[in-house]
Each structure stands twice: as structure tokens, then as C-alpha cells.
Structure 1
Amino acid sequence: MSPTNLIPIVLSLLLSPLVGQSVVAENGLLRVKGSRIVNREGTAVSLAGNSFFWSQWDHSGFWNPKCVAWLVDDWNSAIIRAPMGVEEPGGYLEKPEENERKLRTLVQAAVNEGVYVIIDWHSHYAEKSTAEAVEFFERMARSYGGLDHVIYEIYNEPKKTEWSEIKEYAETVIAAIRRIDPDKLIVVGTGEWSQEVDEPAADPITQWPNIAYTLHFYSDKHGQSLRDRADAALAQGIALFVTEWGPVGKRGKDPETEKWMAWCRKNKISHCVWSVNDKDEPYSIVRKGADPEGGWKPGDLRPAGELERSIISTWNENQ
């Protein structure tokens, strides 16, 4: 490991005694046990937090440490997701140094705040850039393999890719990570925008421990039928992680979101809501003009943000 890569780890170790009993200090390394994700004591945990927006399209500058600190302090976020865009214009394949620098900023901010962070290869076609993914995750494993805070999400949302292709890609990338980091949680995307969780349930990755699978949902598009599919996958013994979801965002209450949150509580599923952004779309949490460093007043939040903050800030109380 190079001296440069050691700096974030040394800083986090020096800072950790100053922040008290953080989420990560309390729970330690997350691992898969049957169909649940558990903490160091073997107790199933469900974490609630935020997903940021695509790294290359964060035009208002939300990918910064003060924003992470605000989400932890004001929203009670226990986990953040850093979706590093890959193939799309301006993404990692086009501008690797710029996007990786932004990602490392968010990872270190999460480490300093004592919360979990998902390093997300935010791709729809990851199998087409396997070599680049391997190289990237090897570098991440060397930098952060000693930190319990980090989770690797190696494929965001496959579109119409067959599970056999996703699995082949995943096994290649996982093998590269495991040669360096033997124990961190790795989350694998599933077919049709990470909804076909029945496919890995029938044909899971078995060569390595601590593998979970991605489930994504949006309450205006996905309901009971997807929950039924997820229940069946859990019953077959795989663990699920909702690395991305969104409410309708057009009103203060959303009955379908309430059903999804009840399902997550019942099954001890962790989740990150999309997205920390001010784009003019229902799923953005703040309005245009909101300070990207946080300090948001109620008027700064979109309806989705109001609903999501009420869910995340009370998540531990309502389990």
C-alpha cells in the first residue's frame, strides 16, 4: 500500500475517538448470515441513508464533506452511497481521475463521520468494462480494505443483461477484490434494473463469503409483485440490499412507500434513497438554490425530501 493510500486510514483512526460511538463503531464489519446482513455480534441490522446523484452530473456540488456531515447530523443517516458514473458522458471511463477523486472525497467524509459508505460502480453495462472495473476495485480494496465502513457495489443496474453474464462479470471482479480484501460486504446488481432477484436466488455466487444482491424500487412503479419476488428470493437464502429507491415525491404521504418501508423493517433490509440533488425531478431531495453543504430549512426540501427525512431520521426508533 502506498503512503498516499494510507493517509485516509491513518486520519480516520486518529479522528475516531473524537466522535464517540458512531454507527460503524457500534456495529463493526457487516456480513451476510443466511438471508440477513448482520453486525459483528451476529445481530441483523437495517440501516437507512442517502444515495448521492451521478458523480459526473453533480453540477451543484453536493459531493462534499459538509453535505455528508449534515445528512448524518440532521437526517440521522447511517449510510451513504457514492454512485460513480461509468459509461455515460463525463463518467469514469472518460474522466477516471476526476470521478475517482470525487468518490474518494465522499468515502473519506463518511469515514470521518463514522457511517457506512457504498462505493458504487454506477453502471448499466458493467460487463462491457470488466477490466476497468477490476482495476478500479483493486485500487479501492488497497485503499479501504482495512476499514469496516466500506461496502463495494460492483454493478448498479444491469438493464436487459442475462444473469449468466452478470454472474460471470461479478465473479471476475469479486475474485480481484478478495485477493486484497477478504471480508468486506460486496453487493451484486441483478437483472432488469436490479429487480430480478429471483435469478441469483436460483443460481447464487458461492465461491466467496459475504455477498449480497441488489434490489431497487420506486414506489410509483413497483409494488406488491416485486415484494413477493423479493420474499421468494429471501426464502431461498440470499441476502438483499436496497442500494437505491425512491418515493413518488409528489405528496407528503405515499402509501406504497409506507408498504415498502414496513417490508424493509420486517426483513431487516438496509436502504439508500435516491438522491442528494437539486435536479428538477420528483426524486431529488432539495429544491434549486439549496446550499450544497447542507443547513437546509423545511422550505429547501422537495416533498420527496420531506418524506425521506422523516423516514431516515426515525428509522432506528421505529424498528
Structure 2
Amino acid sequence: MLDDRKLEVLKAIVTDYVSSREPVGSKALVERHKLDVSAATVRNDMAALEEEGYIMQPHTSAGRIPTDKGYRLFVDRLAQIKPLSSAERTAITSFMNGTADVDDLVTRTVRLLAQLTRQVAIVQYPVAQRSTIRHVEFILLTPDRVLVIVVQSSGRVDQATLEVPVTDESELHALRSKVLAAVIGKTPADAASALASLLEGVAPDARSFAGPVVAGLLEAIAAEPAAHVLVAGVPNLASGPFFEANLRPLLEALEEQVVLMRLLGEAAGDDVTVRIGQENTDEPFQATSLIASGYGADFSASLGVLGPTRMDYPSTIAAVRAVARYVSRFLTVG
């Protein structure tokens, strides 16, 4: 067990290294952090921390830098989560205001996280298993083109444009009324079954019109987002010399949807999860730290940021937590 003074020395080393990106020496720690002990005492504490594997010396005559084990102890016991400033809270609200649908929400969220943390942001599309159909609209664009719009309770909006001759617009309104009665309040799966039954009940002479419209509606309901995970802020990886040896495999891993889904899936939950260095199971990410949180009504989707292990953990944890809570409120209320 480390005593309180050694823990304070470790905290000071992590804080200074994150700020300066330079190995930290004992004299600098005493001067900057008012430790009320001599530099020799701090050197002894640093030697003990190094022996326990919490810090290391990158090369002879250099100061010390934290190890993954040191960062883990810092996150678990020493870090105090920084409250967001009023400017940051205002930025989140203003950036997310006016969100139109789930696609727009995910796009805004991933951009916001990258800007707030200056790291790589990763956002998984929300799982819509509990979503229900809120509204369906048919819009006659031209005499032979109909726009079908489906709005789900999650805020997701899907649409399809159909080539269907409409000789009598009242037929379109009548079909819409039947569709609304059949699908409103149902899950997409139940709505699809209801639409199949509805089509069976349409008179044979009307099926040439109703069939393509219902088929287009089924396609809109079943549509999936083009990507399961969105990524933003990749250029932030170039802001420091921390990935020089591993940048190529890391960039390749960031392009793999399955890998990102697994990475975020391991961090799903109702609170912030921090994975540091070797704690990440995929090799390309073992020189990084992941800070992630579940979001949504049942926390079944995740969002987070990926960056060097030398990261401002208190501020990044606060940003990820705040954005996840905001998005959850949007999906729950919306």
C-alpha cells in the first residue's frame, strides 16, 4: 500500500506529465506542488513508485513518466472529476439544439466530443429495439412520385421516394389512414407484420397502387443507418508524438466497424468506463486510453473518446459523462 505522500507524488507526476509532455523530475515537483518535503525525499518516493511499477524512467538521466498502472491508480483513487465550465455547458446545449433526428444527433455528438476533448470521438448509433412508430406520412410530390416518411419514438426519421402513379389523391389519404391505424405505437417488427396483414385485406383492384406504397413503407421501416459507429477527430492523433510506431495499425483499426463496436461494447453501462493501455483487448488500441459511457434509455449504445494514455482524465471523463447524459435526455424526452 502506498502512503498518502507517495500518492500525492504520483498525482503530481501525472498532472505535470499530462500538461508538459516531458518527464518529471523531483526538483520540479517540489517547486510546483509545494509538497513540504525535500527533493531528496521526493526522489526516494519516486524510486518506491518506480519499484512498484507506477512510474518509469524513459531513458537515463531523465525524469519519470506514469505507466499504465500509474494512470489506473490515478483514475481510480486520485483524480477529481473537473466540473464543466459554464462555457462548456453552454457549448454543449447550443451545439446540440435544433437536432432534427437520430442521424443528425449522432453526427453532432461525435463532432462535439472531438471538439471538447481534442481526442478521437466514437459514437455508436442507438439501438432501436424499444423504439416504436410515432408517425407515418405520405406526400405526393408529382402525379407519379410519392414520398414516404416514417418517424420513430427514438427520433429516427426514415424516408423513401416511390415511383407510383396516383390517379386519385383520395386513395393515398385513405391508405394513409389505414396504415396509421395499423402501425402507430408498434415496434418496427410488429409494424411490418401489421402492414403485411393490411395488404392482404386490400381489394385486388387496389393492390397495384397500395402494394408499391406499402412495400416502400416496409423498406423505410427496415432501413438501418449507413454506419453503426461514427468517428471524428482522427487528425487529433497527430497532435503529439505518442503513436509514431503504432499509428498505421491504429488508423486501420479505426476504420473497422466490428472492432469499434467491440471496443465500445466492452465499455457499455450507465457510468463512465476508463480503459487504459493494455486493458484494451485489441492490440492497436493498447497504446491508447478509452473513456466511454453508455447512453439512451437503457444505456444499450455507447459513446466515448480515444487518445493517448497521457490524457487529461478528469476533464475528459467530465465531458464524456455530460454529453452522454445530454444525448440520453434527448432520446428519452424526444
TM-score under structure 2 length normalisation = 0.23
Structure with more helix by fraction: 2
- TM-score, length basis structure 1: 0.24
